[in-house]
Structure 1
């Protein structure tokens, strides 16, 4: 029976004896009071922002969820030092809009723009890297103010580099971030080129893609044997481009397609017919929004679009870029096999992007080498959990590296294997800051206790 529960949930769960409560501080003083020994709030404490995680990393079966979305002030934009200081609840797209008004942008090109800055720093937020850009949003963090699990404030900067490295991608286990300072830069335009190819053709050029300075993003359709490539290069001679085309692209991919595909489930009940129609719509959309709309842009233009309000099922795994020629072919075979064996397939294209080596965070999945991410996405819940477990098995077989907030059904043994000594070092840091496990929930305890 226990195995059945694990397979249905895709995550380790412990049934608590009391329901968790949600606390939403209106200012930092309220946040500090909640951690005081005399407070009525019970541990474990789990910080939460937009709650876009695909796993249970920011939830708890008992204790207190600390909703930080009301701490959303942009406190300072320093034009001399090229930094911005914010509270954790600021949405990335809102920050990008404010920076754009000052001629600035975030250093990386990241996705899920409705996430909060605190969540993007503490959890894995990634995106295609151009040139020397880092792949992690958290890499931009240069200073932070942290409320430790004991309720004491702590400021962390480059003088405490090991702690700063542990704080990035710490998944809320080291305390609650209540002020963050990020590096920013003047707007850097890029040109965008788009290509269409088969999966075999994509595999044949994957080594070149792995070494390319271009930002690489792609949409993979395993049942159509098609890949749509988006290649971006910094181009000082290029115009920045308007925001409207990128907003239309964002709206089409993240809102229109999921709504249409969900509706088709009720309108076209025959799976074979429905999936052929879905793939045709996806192909037409990729051709229109990429090839016809977006040729120039910058981080400031592409990160100021509308909110991603559509709830989707997704799981992300990262694979060594050097091995991706084999992995991408194996992924197509995996998707075809799962469809034939179970009848389930994802209705959205698989999204992917190349990530540069990025050792800025202790738990960085790109700590040692460049990686290519694969994000399986589906609007369908029936059959999704079993698929996510099978996808995790595929990823572990092919040397996939996880993000604890985005990779479903990660096994304990694989986490220890891929992070090695780094996960042990993180555990030591965590035990020093949180000896009573006040920031630990059942999901994370699998890997970090």
Structure 2
């Protein structure tokens, strides 16, 4: 049968496709290679943009029915969920309890299992991480020999680091425990910069005490920075003075003060309006197309620059996309991260690269480029922001565009030449030369542990075999 990713541009053809409803079904599949051939790959929301979904001639385990969400453990400040539970549902259940996840990432369809073994990104608050897996404290998974294994960061931190961002190569995760926090309301605002203003003010932006996301518009020389911060404790103290029941541990009393319309506007624009406009502009005649692109950029400038709020609920950041979206609203993306030292020049060169590519080919991304600031994060062994604070460059375009992949080859080379690191499940058109250049020693060590846990390559698909040069 045919299995496609959410955007529809990637296809794999497994021999067997099984919807998992019980853990023993995973054991049955993993331990019966004759009935369920290799590779065995778990399927979640399918939002990855690379061939990590590859299970050609193998077996796909659809994990989405393992979606139980237990009540939060307020004593240990954790929540345990099935690997098929959607991030959107987890974050909103916590919000109803006056609690929150540490990372409220954009794609709410992200399943808990994919959040552990995949690489994600989001703008990070000071002293926090932007990768969802960094807040996973334990998992339960079925290994290649059919064993039910529990991995906890307190008892086996090294293995936990390997499991985070392991792309399903060490086992099939079926239960996940996240670290959580008391609910905090957020302040949100946007500020428009020219490229020079952004570069000159980058140190000030980084030291603002905010989570930083930015929208890049190289053809009108503008960058919109989205600043998010937790509202001051002084305001929280004033609210707590009016807490009638005295139960302020989980901050449930903050819910009546929370706002959600700002992210509702942004999410509607990002999930539906902007991709549709981008697709329509792509279809316009060439003489008109550039003018329409400029108009859409300035429209985005106007909309985003007016969005602000002071008491926003964090879970409202997440977007729940349709499982079967209209083709016109699909979009795709790629991402590389760069050490913040030297990023100013990289960003200037990136604007020039996009403009030069457009002059040479007549093609440009139909949607706004985005980026995130992430702090140093070594929680995952294959972390793309290990060792230093990072900034990302994420081109975004409408789905189904034949010019997208030729562009990515030049984009990937630009990023490699400028010290970038990819996300192996969100950066298409990677080569073994790129991954080896960026992660060579880490991949060698990871492969040693992978072979120990999966000596027959039960979970190793063709994509990672080629990309990592594993045997």
Q: Same fold (TM over 0.5)?
A: yes
Partner of 2:384: 365
1:208 Cα deviation (Å)?
3.5
Q: Contact between 2:192 and 2:305, CA under 8 Å: does it hold in 1? A: no
Q: 1:110 aligns with which of 83, 101, 105?
A: 105
| Pair 289,223 (structure 1): closer, same or farther in 2 beyond 3 Å | closer
Q: Contact between 2:189 and 2:307, CA under 8 Å: does it hold in 1? A: no
Q: 2:34, 2:56 → 1: CA distance?
A: 20
Q: Contact between 2:279 and 2:366, CA under 8 Å: does it hold in 1? A: no
Q: Contact between 2:107 and 2:320, CA under 8 Å: does it hold in 1? A: no
Partner of 2:270: 253
Q: 1:83, 1:26 → 2: CA distance?
A: 24
Q: 2:369, 2:33 → 1: CA distance?
A: 49
Q: Does 1:280 align with 2:276?
A: no
Deviations 1:294-319 (A, max 9, x none): 4542423323x432654312111111
Q: 1:84, 1:425 → 2: CA distance?
A: 31
Partner of 2:57: 62
Deviations 1:226-272 (A, max 9, x none): 11111122223278641232122111112111012213334x322x4
Q: 2:398, 2:47 → 1: CA distance?
A: 15
Runs (5+) with no aligned partner, structure 1: 1-9
Partner of 2:356: 337
Q: Does 1:392 align with 2:412?
A: yes
1:324 Cα deviation (Å)?
1.0
Q: Contact between 1:218 and 1:351, CA under 8 Å: does it hold in 2? A: yes
Q: 1:413, 1:306 → 2: CA distance?
A: 36
| Pair 44,98 (structure 1): closer, same or farther in 2 beyond 3 Å | same
Q: Contact between 1:210 and 1:321, CA under 8 Å: does it hold in 2? A: no
1:209 Cα deviation (Å)?
3.3
1:38 Cα deviation (Å)?
7.0
1:76 Cα deviation (Å)?
3.5
Q: 1:307 aligns with which of 307, 321, 332?
A: 321
Q: 1:177 aligns with which of 173, 179, 183?
A: 173
Partner of 1:4: none
Q: 1:444, 1:302 → 2: CA distance?
A: 32
1:331 Cα deviation (Å)?
0.5
1:212 Cα deviation (Å)?
4.4
Q: 2:276, 2:160 → 1: CA distance?
A: 40
Q: 2:229 aligns with which of 233, 243, 246?
A: 233
How many residues get paired?
A: 433
Q: 1:355, 1:444 → 2: CA distance?
A: 25
Runs (5+) with no aligned partner, structure 2: 1-8, 237-253
Q: 1:207 aligns with which of 180, 203, 207?
A: 203
Q: 1:290, 1:307 → 2: CA distance?
A: 24
Q: 1:96, 1:25 → 2: CA distance?
A: 23
RMSD: 2.1
Q: Contact between 2:337 and 2:390, CA under 8 Å: does it hold in 1? A: yes
Q: 1:207, 1:322 → 2: CA distance?
A: 11
Q: Contact between 2:195 and 2:222, CA under 8 Å: does it hold in 1? A: yes
Tell me the secondary structure at the aligned position of residue 335 of structure 2. strand
Aligned residue runs from structure 1 range 438-449, under 5 A: 438-446=458-466, 447=468, 449=470
| Pair 99,37 (structure 1): closer, same or farther in 2 beyond 3 Å | same
1:211 Cα deviation (Å)?
4.6
